[in-house]
Structure 1
Amino acid sequence: MVQVDVFWSYALGASFASAASRQLKIKSNPFQNDYFTYTLLYLSCIFAPSGIYLLWQFPHWETMQVATCHGDLPAWLVTIFSITNITQGILGFWVSYQCIKAGRYYLAHLQWFLAYFCMFFVLVHGWDGLGWQRFLYDPTVLNNQLWEPGQHMGLTFLWSNVAFTLYVMGIFVIPFMIIPMSKWIIEGAQNSPEVRSTDIPESIQEIGITFLKLVLGCSLGGAIITSIVIYIIRLITGNLLISFIFGMSICLVSGYYFFFQEGKICYDLFKKLFLAEPATSQKEKS
């Protein structure tokens, strides 16, 4: 979707860089290595084309029901959308690289996690609390009846034209993301003296499951909870801006305190990916 792909692209770039943390740590240039080359190819040959296809085939759904037809899409919007699907990924890769060079592997991984959180929050809540309704509505299977507040397809969306298109795209989007990321994590750990052999993931499946737990469980789950909290505060205050500020602040602070600090459940999941911080490893050895 146009409103969320800037976050998704950033997450992809950051996740590729984070997966290659130990390899990139010794690189002096973030853009002159095989990992960035693969990231750029993935963004330009898989991710960006998928977004452009969805925008052309389902302009209403891809714009969260804002556009009703191709005529509603200005050329500048399509151009910027196509460009940012790549440039935001480059930005995500670069920011994570800077974290890696500073020895902050956990922070590098948090880049893609927070980007996914923002993406899911927009999908779930949107700008008016109706994001999930806009997502679960495909007018191409409803006689092209345009979306209105309160309308959604529920679980029947899973059999819509949009959903089947997403399933096909997933065949390319997911494996070409998870497999290289997993290989880079394992290779980096095997060649790193700071990682104990017992901590090295045994398979691509193990890393893939951990990654999906963080994305679908922690990130999506966090976005849903945050949306509910904002909705409740809005019922109490009647103010959209106040409910957003207080709801988001409450969830981010409490989320970090209860789930993302060292030793908490989400931190432990992340540690299965970054395995050990360089500074931490040196302290343990000494």
Structure 2
Amino acid sequence: MVQVDVFWSYGIGASFATAAAYRLGSDAGAPGRRAFRWSDPYLMVTVLYCAVLFAPSGAWLLWDFPDWETMQVAHGHGSLPAWLVALFAATNVSQGVLGYRVAARLIEAGRVYAAYLQAGVGYFGMFFILVHGWDGRGYQRFFSADRETFAHWPESPGPGEALSRVGDWLVSPVALTLYGMGAVLVPVMLAVMASWLRSGRSESGTGAAPGRLRIVGGVLGAVFGVALGSAVASSVLVHLLGWWLGVPAAAALVAVLVVRRGTGAAHRTFGLLALPDRAGGRPRSVPAAG
């Protein structure tokens, strides 16, 4: 969706940079020497992914489902000014570059975990908009194929009715299009990240590289377990406490249970990927299964 892609593309860029942490970390001590060169091959792959795959998928959805893609704000193509469409396409690439550069800068400064969290910030922002939105009805907008469907959602649906509407959406044209796009976008991203992580770890001489399945599990767990779970929990707190109390409560929850080193959920998935604790430093050991 238009509103979430700004955060999503930022998370994609930061994810690619983090996957290249071993290579980018070789420039630790000389911040900016590599990460801000357009000749950086990892940056180029990030740009190509965002420009050739991610941005076109957003444009496709915006053209075919303008009301859904704008979270039911637009009535149709006539409601979309040309400058908004152009800006949307541009940010799908520019935010990916920004996410990569911010994460790469942190890696070169020796702050690999902080770079990893940049991806989490992007995905958390994406999921919070999808789950909560600006009025607590974000999930209803997401699971509505068009404005008419969204208009028939009760403001506080019961579990049975909500599940029924989600089931209807899962076989809608929007969902079917997303399945096809996901079958291309997700495997390509995971393959690139796994390749960079494994080769970087092997070339660093710090131990055996984690298996591809472990990397895929770690990435998917970080996105759909940690980031999505944090967004859902934050939405619940905002619903219960309101914005003024819910946001600080959510921030405290994320700080203690998610971000905290050693025990936080994000730090545990960071360990699964066998990333270095700091650029040029020793990587985290890969924890035993289970």
User: TM-score surpassing 0.5?
Assistant: yes
Corresponding residue number in structure 2 for 1:229: 237
**1:150 lines up with 2:153 in the alignment:** yes
Corresponding residue number in structure 2 for 1:239: none
Correspondence for 1:207 among 196, 205, 215? 215
Instruction: Return the alpha-carbon distance in structure 1 between the equivalents of residues 152 and 106 of structure 2.
Output: 42
1:149 CA displacement: 6.6
Instruction: Return the alpha-carbon distance in structure 2 between the equivalents of residues 182 and 114 of structure 1.
Output: 21
Q: How many residue pairs align between the two structures?
A: 267
Instruction: Return the alpha-carbon distance in structure 1 between the equivalents of residues 152 and 236 of structure 2.
Output: 18
1:271 CA displacement: 1.7
**Could you tell me whether the CA contact under 8 Å between 1:20 and 1:188 is conserved in 2?**
yes
| CA root-mean-square deviation | 2.0
**1:86 lines up with 2:116 in the alignment:** no
Correspondence for 1:51 among 58, 64, 68? 58
Instruction: Return the alpha-carbon distance in structure 2 between the equivalents of residues 56 and 283 of structure 1.
Output: 45
Corresponding residue number in structure 1 for 2:198: 186
Q: Specify the SS of the correspondent of 1:278.
A: coil
Alignment-mate amino acid for residue 150 of structure 1: W
Instruction: Return the alpha-carbon distance in structure 2 between the equivalents of residues 19 and 274 of structure 1.
Output: 10
1:162 CA displacement: 0.3
Give the 5 Å matches for 1:102-251: 102-139=109-146, 145=148, 147-148=150-151, 150=153, 153-193=165-205, 195-197=206-208, 200-201=209-210, 203-233=211-241, 243-251=242-250
5+ residue gaps, structure 1? 234-242
Give the 5 Å matches for 1:8-47: 8-27=8-27, 28-30=33-35, 31-47=38-54
Instruction: Return the alpha-carbon distance in structure 1 between the equivalents of residues 78 and 257 of structure 2.
Output: 48
1:8 CA displacement: 0.3
Alignment-mate amino acid for residue 29 of structure 1: R
Q: What is the CA deviation profile of residues 137-182 of structure 1, one whole-angstrom value per residue up to 9, with x for unaligned ones?
A: 013xxxx735327357222211110000000001111011001101
Greater shift after overlay, 68-77 or 153-162?
A: 153-162
The alignment-based identity, stated in percent, is 41
Q: What is the CA deviation profile of residues 243-282 of structure 1, one whole-angstrom value per residue up to 9, with x for unaligned ones?
A: 2242122122222213322221421211222533137946
Q: What is the CA deviation profile of residues 85-110 of structure 1, one whole-angstrom value per residue up to 9, with x for unaligned ones?
A: 00000000000011000111111110
1:228 CA displacement: 0.8
**1:61 lines up with 2:68 in the alignment:** yes
Instruction: Return the alpha-carbon distance in structure 2 between the equivalents of residues 7 and 214 of structure 1.
Output: 16
**Could you tell me whether the CA contact under 8 Å between 2:226 and 2:258 is conserved in 1?**
no
Instruction: Return the alpha-carbon distance in structure 2 between the equivalents of residues 81 and 218 of structure 1.
Output: 27
Instruction: Return the alpha-carbon distance in structure 1 between the equivalents of residues 270 and 283 of structure 2.
Output: 20
Q: What is the CA deviation profile of residues 186-236 of structure 1, one whole-angstrom value per residue up to 9, with x for unaligned ones?
A: 11111114x333xx30x2221011110110011111111110110011xxx
**Could you tell me whether the CA contact under 8 Å between 1:68 and 1:146 is conserved in 2?**
no
Alignment-mate amino acid for residue 220 of structure 2: L
**Could you tell me whether the CA contact under 8 Å between 2:214 and 2:273 is conserved in 1?**
no
5+ residue gaps, structure 2? 28-32, 155-161, 285-290
Alignment-mate amino acid for residue 94 of structure 1: R
Alignment-mate amino acid for residue 97 of structure 1: A
Alignment-mate amino acid for residue 196 of structure 1: G
